């Protein structure tokens, strides 16, 4: 059956949205590694402007007091929400956090780094919205595609709100982790809708159930590794703050057991993906999407190991931090897409040896 122009348009927009999400994760990694998260003290504007200032002379005289007061009000509203859902201890800690009373000094480089991150986020949101609009071209054939596309837009709205909380709470560790996990969820939904559209009206492909189990396990381990990675980053941020940015060589050693857990899980990630690669090579031809995805995953894992070594032995260079998180996201995306393709595939001929 010939694919209609509207469906092809949906697939193209969906694919662009996926690419933009990876770019956004990279931008977020740059923001985090450069310490630019508070480059814009307000949200969604930056210093009350749609285009941020380039020098302190462009700032209002009372900007520090204004944004501190605004953050205090937003944090109080967020704390009340946490109280409603039973997180009273976290609400109390947010209310008692005196760090939000310390205004951020203006730094043009950090402000524009955060602003560009937000700009990429806005463009990504627009393409996800367009994906939802054009997903209705499948409404008569597969209602799951428009449902997931609309659900993703809702998640994006929640992610934007959470981003404002991340700013107002001075990057509270727990919220930063949730922010990252939600980003992966949005990415997964986008990949799922793209996959469903691509395999529409294609035949079912049977595969070894063992491969399904190993792929699912590899995906779960990758998610666990990302969670450990965010916790390592949180510990290091706390150490860096305590040491006032000095003694950088001691940051990793002061992070505690979570760093070694992160390293040990990395070894498990490598082992499980070696097993999966062997199974994929045995079960599918080298020209199949499955082998292509597995080869790509293995390449990114090797690059991930290189950036991990750079982080461990070269005192956490910022560029390696940003690459480390985007490589982790690429591994997650490739493994998730592989898992989807194990159930349905456009390649019917020659997939098995």
Query: Is the per-residue pLDDT at 345 higher than 70?
Result: no
Residues 210/45, Cβ–Cβ less than 8 Å: no
Confidence of residue 2 (pLDDT cuts 50, 70, 90): low
Cis peptide before 44 (omega within 30 of 0): yes
Q: Where are the beta strands (DSSP E) in 173-227?
A: none
Q: Tens digits of per-residue pLDDT, 115-163?
A: 999 999 999 999 999 999 999 999 888 899 999 999 999 999 998 888 7
Delineate the domains of the chain, giving CATH numbers in brackets: 1-201 (no CATH), 205-353 (1.20.120)
Q: Tens digits of per-residue pLDDT, 283-332?
A: 888 888 999 999 999 999 999 999 999 988 887 888 888 999 999 999 99
Residues 294/338, Cβ–Cβ less than 8 Å: yes
Confidence of residue 248 (pLDDT cuts 50, 70, 90): low
| Close Cβ partners of 259 (under 8 Å, ≥ 6 residues apart) | 232, 235, 252
Average pLDDT of the segment spanning 277-287: 89
């Amino acid at each position: 059956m010939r694919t209609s122009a509207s469906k092809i348009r949906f697939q193209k927009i969906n694919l662009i949205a996926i690419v933009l999400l990876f770019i956004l994760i990279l931008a977020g990694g740059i923001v985090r590694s450069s310490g630019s998260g508070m480059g814009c003290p307000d949200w969604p504007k930056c210093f009350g402007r749609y285009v941020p200032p380039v020098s302190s002379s462009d700032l209002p005289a009372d900007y520090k007091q204004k944004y501190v007061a605004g953050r205090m009000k937003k944090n109080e509203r967020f704390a009340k929400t946490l109280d409603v859902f039973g997180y009273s201890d976290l609400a109390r800690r947010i209310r008692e956090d005196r760090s939000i009373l310390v205004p951020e000094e203006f730094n043009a480089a950090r402000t524009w780094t955060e602003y560009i991150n937000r700009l990429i986020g806005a463009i990504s949101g627009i393409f996800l919205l367009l994906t939802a609009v054009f997903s209705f071209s499948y409404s008569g054939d597969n209602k799951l595609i428009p449902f997931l596309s609309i659900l993703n837009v809702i998640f994006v709205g929640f992610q934007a709100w959470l981003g404002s909380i991340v700013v107002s709470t001075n990057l509270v560790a727990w919220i930063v982790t949730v922010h990252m996990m939600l980003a992966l969820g949005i990415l997964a939904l986008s990949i799922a809708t793209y996959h469903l559209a691509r395999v529409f009206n294609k035949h079912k492909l049977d595969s070894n159930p063992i491969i399904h189990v190993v792929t699912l396990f590899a995906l779960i381990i990758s998610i666990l590794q990302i969670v450990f990675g965010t916790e390592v980053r949180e510990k290091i941020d706390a150490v860096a703050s305590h040491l006032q940015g000095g003694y950088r060589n001691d940051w990793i050693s002061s992070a505690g057991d979570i760093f070694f857990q992160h390293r040990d899980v990395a070894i498990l990630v490598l082992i499980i993906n070696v097993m999966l690669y062997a199974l994929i090579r045995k079960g599918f031809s080298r020209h199949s999407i499955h082998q292509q995805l597995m080869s790509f995953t293995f390449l990114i894992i090797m690059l991930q190991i290189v950036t991990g070594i750079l982080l461990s032995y070269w005192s956490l260079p910022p560029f390696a931090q940003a690459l480390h998180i985007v490589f982790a996201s690429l591994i997650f995306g490739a493994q998730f897409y592989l898992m989807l393709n194990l159930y349905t595939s456009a390649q019917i001929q020659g997939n098995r040896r």
